Chains A and B, each alone.
Chain A
Amino acid sequence: MRWSLFGGIAALLFSAGTALAAEEVELPERHWSFGGLFGTFERDDVRRGYEVYRNVCAGCHGLTLIRYRELATLGYTDDEIKALAAEQTYTDGPNDQGEMFERPGLPSDAFKAPFPNEQAARVANNGAYPPDLSLLVEARAGGANHVYGVLIGYEEPPADFPLKEGQYYNKYFPGHVIAMPPPLADGAVSYADGTQATLPQMAADVTSFLAWTAEPTLEARKRMGVKTVLFLIVFTGLLYAVKRKIWLGVKH
């Protein structure tokens, strides 16, 4: 009885809290393959998402925590990875002459950021900074639903909504004003596997990709989690039986 009183008050206060934070938006609740206790990354989704990133997002957004060699998880072969890496040039050195030099990328290199630093990124984007996307799904409240929502949430602002030059109205972005122009449009990418590239399809695919970049070890974590929790349930059951056996007949 005491517990339910307590829980009730806590629940009331938490919901009161969220209601008072007026900028909360209701995100689209979409089923993700990697959600839940047994979630896994759907390899095809993530691979298509990488194509969206390469063709649409990489122009402004870095992905500097991912190394080209990690694309092997998405099904790319060693030669494909070498070719993808070699598309970028990296500064290396100094060589024996004491000079820095340019070389093509290697599989062990990280994805190259589109701008050398934050200041250059801001100059190129009207003062706004396109954040690195590697951890975005974990760095935003709402996670994957938030990222997906923002990508599909562009629409005409309601009448009299104050919107300055360089700002866009987005249904799912907290505060509804975002500096990024709508990045996706139907057919913006032509998928290697032939899937039709509608806006929601691309949004979902790139979200799956970004969920993978944020936590590549997610599948290992959940797999180990299932085994561990099952083991612990069995083990705790045994420990309970031992406890009962030892305490049997003891007055307490």
Chain B
Amino acid sequence: MVHGAEAVRGQAGGHGHGEGGGSRRDFLILATTAVGAVGAASVLWPFIDQMNPSADVLALSTVEVDVAPIAVGQAITVKWRGKPVFIRHRTEEEIKAARSVALSELRDPEADEARAQRPEWLILVGVCTHLGCIPLGQKPSDPHGDYGGWFCPCHGSHYDTSGRIRRGPAPQNLVVPDYLFASDTVVRIGEVGPAGGAAA
């Protein structure tokens, strides 16, 4: 935006009584160039900023999901910021399995408690951290890998019931997005939750 240039006003032309005409002219040219540079930068900014996400894109930066219809043991996939998000209503066994894993066994050590604000709800970005395929495991008929969670068919990454990488080429656990529970049954994905909730 254009600002600050007015401060330069009045500088040029009024000075230099004792200076020679040459250096006065140089100062004038210097001042003019400086003002011009400010102008040029101000003009340049809108052309750069227009490529940043627009208002309608930013408006879709959060999505609200009613999780009440999801039965225990079921999972749904919703779209958030153009990516799939897995929402799984975990069974007791799945939660126990996730919490009984020693952190030293994990390639990307993270406790299950840090990955789920409420133990029965696991919310993950459904994009494999290896090269970006969508892992299988949302449907009962899908393969779940050797750890009961998700299995990525592209290069064979196995994720457990907390979405953590256990075997295969993926370097990191499935990402837990920012989310918070707007009510007992409505989760808002994309908004930062309470402290101690999902880590980045």
Contacts and interface: CB of A to CB of B under 8 A. Distances in A.
A120 interface: no
Interface stretch (A42-50, A142-150, A154-162, A224-232): A224-232
Contacts of B76: 96
Interface stretch (A122-130, A171-179, A184-192, A234-242): A234-242
A245 interface: yes
A242 B34 CA distance: 13
Chain A contact surface mostly = helix
B31 to A, nearest CB: 7
B2 A224 contact: yes
A62 interface: no
A222 interface: no
B1 A108 contact: no
Nearest to B2: A227
Interface residues of B, number: 23
B28 to A, nearest CB: 6
Nearest to A249: B21
B59 interface: yes
A107 interface: yes
Interface string A82-116: 00000000000000100000000011100000000
Contacts of A239: 32
A224 B3 CA distance: 10
Contacts of B59: 67, 69, 107-108
A238 B35 contact: yes
6 contacts: A107-B59, A224-B1, A227-B1, A238-B28, A238-B31, A239-B32
Interface of A: 67, 69, 96, 106-108, 224, 227-228, 230-232, 234-235, 238-239, 241-242, 245-246
Interface of B: 1-3, 5-6, 8-9, 12-13, 25, 28-29, 31-32, 35-36, 39, 42, 56, 59-60, 64, 76
